Amino acid sequence: MSTAWIRELARPYLRGYRTRAQSAGPLRGFWFCCTAPAKPRARKSAVPTKTEAGFFAGFLMEEAEHTYLRAQPPEALVFAFVQPVGGALHRRLVADEGSLLRRTFNYIRWLTHRPPRFEFYADGPAALVRHISMRDWPPAKREHLSRNCFIETLAWLVRSGLVRKLQEECKPSRRASARRFRPAKAVREARSQ
């Protein structure tokens, strides 16, 4: 099944996110990512971990690492993620009570009453997900019906403010950037006079 069209379909909804294709493994489609600023580490020898957040739009071809979804592949799915699972950003945006993704899930779930419903997984790689099996869809209609599902899901994510808020979480804070780019001592003294 072709996935090239997904990037163009999702681009207006996910402006400003970097796109990365996924063409092997259980997922087929596109990741729309923003990289969160790395926090300074206490130990210099510590290996930095890549902290990313964003969305995936595409297909689940086999359950593999996604058994928690109780999926019936092939499935069309869109999900929000924060990686690494269990990291500081993930705890703040996903796992904590009152987190951004938990609040968004409660809001969207309250507004949407027909299947497929949004699901929330505080400990899964897909935190806020909407998926539907394509098993019973005629093969000739799969692209058309999955397009409809993607458009509706992405529109809910934009309307809820999650697309914008998640991207803001990836930007360095003003306070952190002010600390990072302090002017030289002479310039600071000149300004204070």
pLDDT of residue 8: 97
Separation between Cα atoms, residue 85 and residue 91, nearest integer Å = 8
Domain assignment present for 43: no
pLDDT of residue 183: 42
Closest CA to 60 of 117, 13, 11, 130: 130
The pLDDT of 2-17, averaged and rounded, is 95
Could you give the angle at the alpha carbon of 36 between the alpha carbons of 45 and 87, nearest 5°? 60
pLDDT digits (tens, 9 = 90+) for 82-93: 999 999 999 999
Domain assignment present for 71: yes
pLDDT of residue 40: 54
Domain count, the chain: 1
pLDDT of residue 171: 83
| More confident: 49 or 115 | 115
Domain assignment present for 128: yes
Domain assignment present for 13: yes
pLDDT digits (tens, 9 = 90+) for 128-173: 999 999 999 999 999 999 999 999 999 999 999 999 999 999 887 6
Domain that holds residue 61: 4-38+48-192
Domain assignment present for 59: yes
pTM, two decimal places: 0.83
Inform me whether the pLDDT recorded for 121 exceeds 90: yes
Domain assignment present for 34: yes
pLDDT digits (tens, 9 = 90+) for 24-62: 999 999 999 998 766 655 555 444 467 899 999 999 999
